Structure 1
Amino acid sequence: MICVQTQHFNLNRTLLLAIGLWPYQKSKLSRLQATLCFGILTSFVVFQFTALITTQCTADFIIKVFSSATFFSIYIINYNMFWINTHHVRNLLEELQCICNELKNENELAIFNKYGNNAKRCTSVLASFAICSAFIATLLPIWPQILNTILYINESQLQNQTIQFVTEYFVDQQKYFYLILLHVNAGICIGTITLIATGTMLLGCIIHACGLFTIAGYRMEQAMTTKIFENINLENRSICEKIFYAVEIHRKAMKFTDLMLSSFEGSFLLLIAITVICLSLNVFAIFRNALLGNKEAFILHLLFVLVIFLYMFVANYAGQKVLNYSTHIYSSAYNVRWYDAPLHVQKMILLILQRSSKTFSLNIAGLFVISLECFAMLTKASMSYFTVIYTMQQ
C-alpha cells in the first residue's frame, strides 16, 4: 500500500516541519515555532514600512520601500494561508490517501506512483532553486569582501553595503548592526522556506489530481477494449461497472481539486493582487538602479523578479496541466468503440461526453482561470503598471 505522506510528500513534510506548518504536528513547541516564524516575517515587513515615518517620502523612496515590502508580504500571505487552514491541508492529504487506498489495479497504482514521483522531483528542483536564491540574497550585500574584489573593507563600509533593505528599527543601527542583520537574514530564510514549502505542497496536490484524471482515462479505455467485445453479451455488466468506476474516479479528481481551491480561494485572490503590484514595482526598481549604477540593488531586485516570474509561471502551468488532463477522459470516451456497445452503454458514454465537454479548470472566484493564458494576462498587467510608473517618473 502507498503511504502518500511518507512516500510522495516526504520532502514537503520536512519543509513544513521546519517552519511549524505540518498539519499533523500539534505540540506546544510547534505552535511556538509557528508563532515565532510568523512574528519574524511580519516584523520584518513592518520595520520596512516604518521607514516611511522617519524619512522624507519621495516617489523614489516610496517605490523602493514598497518593492521589497510587497515581496516579503507574499511570504506572509503564504504562511498565514497554511497556518489558518491547517485542517484543510490535513483534509487534502487524507482525501488523497483514501482515493489511493481504493486503487486495486496494479497499473492504476503504477500511474498514481508515477505522478507522486513527479511531484517529488518538482519539489526537489524548486527547493534547490529556492536555497540558491536565499543564499545569494543573504550574501549579496557583502559580495565584494567574499569575492576578494577589494583589499580592505572597514566595519562601517561593510555595514553600508550590507543593509540593502530600507528599514527603521528606532535604534542605533550601527550599534545593533549584527542583530539587525540576523533579523534580515532570518526573514529571508524563513520566507524562502515558506514559499517553497507551501507552493510545492499545493503543486504536489495538483500533480496528483492530474494522475487521477489519467487513471479515469485509463479506466475508460479498459472498459471498451476489443477483448470485452469478443463476448459482448456476457460482459454487458462488466462494461457498465468499469465505466462507472471511470466516472467515479473522474468525479473524485474534480472534487479533490475543488476542495483545494475552495480552501484557499481568498488567499489566492490576495496573492494575485500583491504579486502583480510587486512585479511592477521591482521591474521599475531594476531600471532605476541600472540607471544609477547600483549593482547590488540591481541584482537584488532582479532576483525578486525572477522568483516572482517562476512562482507565477509554475502556478499557471500547473493549472494548464489540470485543464489538459481533465479533457483526457473526454477524448478517451470519444475514441473508444462506443458504436459496438449495447444501447444502454452508449447512453452512459453519451452522458460522460456531455459532462466532460464542459472544460474543468482551476477557477478562482470566477475571476481567474489558472492557465498559461492567465500567466500572460498577469504579466501584461504588471508591465502596464510598470509603464505607468515609469512614465510618471520622467
Structure 2
Amino acid sequence: MSLKDFTLFRNRNYKADTEYVVKVAKTLLTPVGIWPLYRGNSKSDKIKNYLQTGVIFGLMCYLLVPHIIYTFFDAEDLTRYMKVVAAQVFSLLAIIKFWTMIINREEIRYCLQQMEMQYRNVECEEDRLVMMKSAKIGRLFTVTYLGLSYGGALPYHIIMPLLEDRIVKEDNTTQIPLPYLSDYVLFVVEDSPFYEITFVSQILISSIILSTNCGVYSLIATCVMHSCCLFEVVRRQMETVLDDEINNLHKRFGRIIEHHMQAIKFAEMIEKSLNIVFLCEMVGCTIIICFLEFGVLKEWEDGKILNMGTYFVLMTSIFVNVFIISAIGDRLKEESEKIGESSYSIKWYDLPSQIVKDLILVMLRSNRPSTLTAAKIFDLSLQGFCEVCKTSAAYFNFIRAMTT
C-alpha cells in the first residue's frame, strides 16, 4: 500500500471499535465509580465520584472486617477457618485493585484515550483488522473468566449457606448461616429482620467485590491485548514496507519507527500503572488456590458434592485468571521481540546504507522487549504461572499436614 493510500484511509467507526474493546470493563467498573473515563471535571461530578467511591469502599470494609474478626477470634473449627480464607484474600484483592484504580486514574485514563486515538488514526483496513482481532481475543479471555467467576461465586454465596448446618439460637430456633460468618462488634444481627437484611446485604456487597475484581481483570486483558496488537501492527508494516519498492522509503520507515515508539510507550504506561495489581494477582491467587484446593478436599471427604463442585469451579476460575495474565504477558514480550526478527527478514541488503543503519537501531531496541512485571520483582510469563501452581501445591500440602 502506498503512502498516499495511508493518508486517504479514515476509520469512521473508531468510536464503535473503541466501545467494543472497553465495553465489559466499562460496564463493571462504572457502577463502583472507578472507571477512569467516568468522572467529569466539574466540582459536582468530583464530589459525586468521591461519595460513590467512599460508599463502595465502606461497604467492602463492612463485609470484610467483621468476617476477619470472626475468623481469627471467634471461629472454633480450624478446618472451617481454612476454607474461608480464600474469600477473605479475594475481597482484599478487590480493595487493593479498587484503590490502585483510584490512585492511577490519570495514567489509566491516558492509556484509554491513547487507545481511542490509535483506533481513529489507524492507517489502513489491514491494521484495523489486526487490532480488532486482538480485541476479540481479549473479549474472549474476559468472558471466559467472568463465566467461571460468577458461576462459582453465586453458588458460594447463595446455595452453600442453604446447605450448611443451621445455627441454633438460645431460644432453640434455627437460622441459615450468613454467607460470610461475621462478628459485628458494635451491634447484634441475630434477630429478625436485621439478620435477613444482613444476609441480603452480604450477597450484594460480595457481588460488588466480584464485579470490581472482574472489571479490573477485563481492563487488564483489554489494555495488554491492545498493546500486543500495536506491536503486531508494527511487525506487519515492517514486513510489507518494501511492497511498494523504494518510493518514499525514508518516510515509511520513519512512520514505522514512530509507531514502534508509541507501542513501547503504551506498554510501559500499562506496566507502570498496574504492576502492583499484577503482584497482588500472582501472590494473592497463589494463596487463594491453595485454600480452594483444601476446600475441595474437605468437601470431598465430607461427601458434599455440590459444595465440592462450587469450590472446584472457583479454583478453576482463579487458575484461568493467573494463566491468562501470564499468557498475555508472555505474548506482549513475544510480539515486541518479533519486531527485530521482522526487521532482519526483509531484504535489508538491497536498501540504502542510511536505512540499514535505522534498521539496526530497531533491532537493538527489540533486544530489550516490553514486559509486564509484578511490582518490578519478576516478569509475568507462563513460567510464572508454573511457579504459582507449584507454590500453591506446596502450601496445600503444608495446610493438610497442619490440619491432620
State yes or no: 1:51 paired with 2:70. yes
* Structure 2 match to 1:163: 178
Q: Give, in angstroms, the shift of residue 165 of structure 1.
A: 3.2
State yes or no: 1:173 paired with 2:190. yes
Which range moves more in the overlay, 295-304 or 174-183? Answer: 295-304
* Structure 1 match to 2:4: none
* Structure 2 match to 1:137: 156
Does the Cα contact within 8 Å between 1:71 and 1:304 map onto a contact in 2? no
Alignment partner for residue 29 of structure 2, among 16, 19, 44?
16
Q: How does 1:82-231 map to 2 (within 5 A)?
A: 82-141=101-160, 159-160=175-176, 162-170=177-185, 171-175=188-192, 176-225=194-243, 227-228=244-245
Q: Give, in angstroms, the shift of residue 97 of structure 1.
A: 2.5
Does the Cα contact within 8 Å between 1:47 and 1:169 map onto a contact in 2? yes
Q: Give, in angstroms, the shift of residue 296 of structure 1.
A: 5.4
The one-letter code of the counterpart of 2:258 is: E
Going from structure 1 to structure 2, the CA distance change for 1:283 and 1:321 (only over 3 Å counts) comes to same
Q: What is the distance in 2 between the residues matched to 1:260 and 1:134?
A: 29
Alignment partner for residue 353 of structure 1, among 360, 363, 376?
363
Q: What is the distance in 2 between the residues matched to 1:46 and 1:122?
A: 32
State yes or no: 1:333 paired with 2:343. yes
* Structure 2 match to 1:149: none
TM-score (ref. length: structure 1): 0.85
Q: How does 1:197-276 map to 2 (within 5 A)?
A: 197-225=215-243, 227-228=244-245, 232=246, 235=247, 238-276=248-286
Q: Give, in angstroms, the shift of residue 215 of structure 1.
A: 0.9
Alignment partner for residue 317 of structure 2, among 296, 307, 310?
307
Does the Cα contact within 8 Å between 1:224 and 1:338 map onto a contact in 2? no
| 3-state secondary structure, aligned to 1:173 | coil
Q: What is the distance in 2 between the residues matched to 1:300 and 1:266?
A: 29
Which range moves more in the overlay, 209-218 or 89-98? Answer: 89-98
Does the Cα contact within 8 Å between 2:111 and 2:266 map onto a contact in 1? yes
Q: What is the distance in 1 between the residues matched to 2:178 and 2:305?
A: 14
The one-letter code of the counterpart of 2:190 is: Q
Going from structure 1 to structure 2, the CA distance change for 1:364 and 1:55 (only over 3 Å counts) comes to closer
Q: Give, in angstroms, the shift of residue 178 of structure 1.
A: 0.9
Q: What is the distance in 1 between the residues matched to 2:98 and 2:69?
A: 22
The one-letter code of the counterpart of 2:381 is: S
Does the Cα contact within 8 Å between 1:173 and 1:180 map onto a contact in 2? no
| 3-state secondary structure, aligned to 2:134 | helix
Q: What is the distance in 1 between the residues matched to 2:302 and 2:191?
A: 25
* Structure 2 match to 1:151: none
Alignment partner for residue 391 of structure 2, among 381, 386, 394?
381
Going from structure 1 to structure 2, the CA distance change for 1:363 and 1:96 (only over 3 Å counts) comes to same
Q: Give, in angstroms, the shift of residue 124 of structure 1.
A: 4.0
Does the Cα contact within 8 Å between 1:5 and 1:13 map onto a contact in 2? no
Q: In the TM superposition, what whole-angstrom CA distance separates every residue of 1:196-233 from its partner, at most 9, and x where no partner exists?
A: 211111110111111111110111112223x40xxx5x
| 3-state secondary structure, aligned to 1:364 | coil
Q: What is the distance in 2 between the residues matched to 1:56 and 1:181?
A: 19
Q: What is the distance in 1 between the residues matched to 2:143 and 2:276?
A: 28
Which range moves more in the overlay, 126-135 or 37-46? Answer: 126-135
The one-letter code of the counterpart of 2:350 is: D
Q: Give, in angstroms, the shift of residue 297 of structure 1.
A: 4.5
The one-letter code of the counterpart of 1:330 is: G
Going from structure 1 to structure 2, the CA distance change for 1:255 and 1:358 (only over 3 Å counts) comes to same
Q: What is the distance in 2 between the residues matched to 1:95 and 1:258?
A: 13
Which range moves more in the overlay, 332-341 or 46-55? Answer: 46-55
Going from structure 1 to structure 2, the CA distance change for 1:321 and 1:133 (only over 3 Å counts) comes to same
| 3-state secondary structure, aligned to 1:19 | coil
TM-score (ref. length: structure 2): 0.84
The one-letter code of the counterpart of 1:349 is: L
The one-letter code of the counterpart of 1:264 is: L
Number of aligned pairs?
Answer: 375
Does the Cα contact within 8 Å between 1:12 and 1:197 map onto a contact in 2? yes
The one-letter code of the counterpart of 2:37 is: Y
* Structure 2 match to 1:152: none
The Cα RMSD (Å) is 2.6
Question: Could you tell me the percent identity over the aligned residues?
Answer: 20
The one-letter code of the counterpart of 1:51 is: Y
Q: What is the distance in 2 between the residues matched to 1:321 and 1:305?
A: 24
Runs of at least 5 residues in structure 2 that lack an aligned partner in the other structure: 1-11, 40-44, 165-171
The one-letter code of the counterpart of 1:98 is: M
Going from structure 1 to structure 2, the CA distance change for 1:65 and 1:191 (only over 3 Å counts) comes to same
Q: Give, in angstroms, the shift of residue 252 of structure 1.
A: 1.2
The one-letter code of the counterpart of 2:391 is: A
Q: What is the distance in 2 between the residues matched to 1:362 and 1:54?
A: 39
Alignment partner for residue 334 of structure 2, among 312, 316, 324?
324
Does the Cα contact within 8 Å between 1:312 and 1:375 map onto a contact in 2? yes
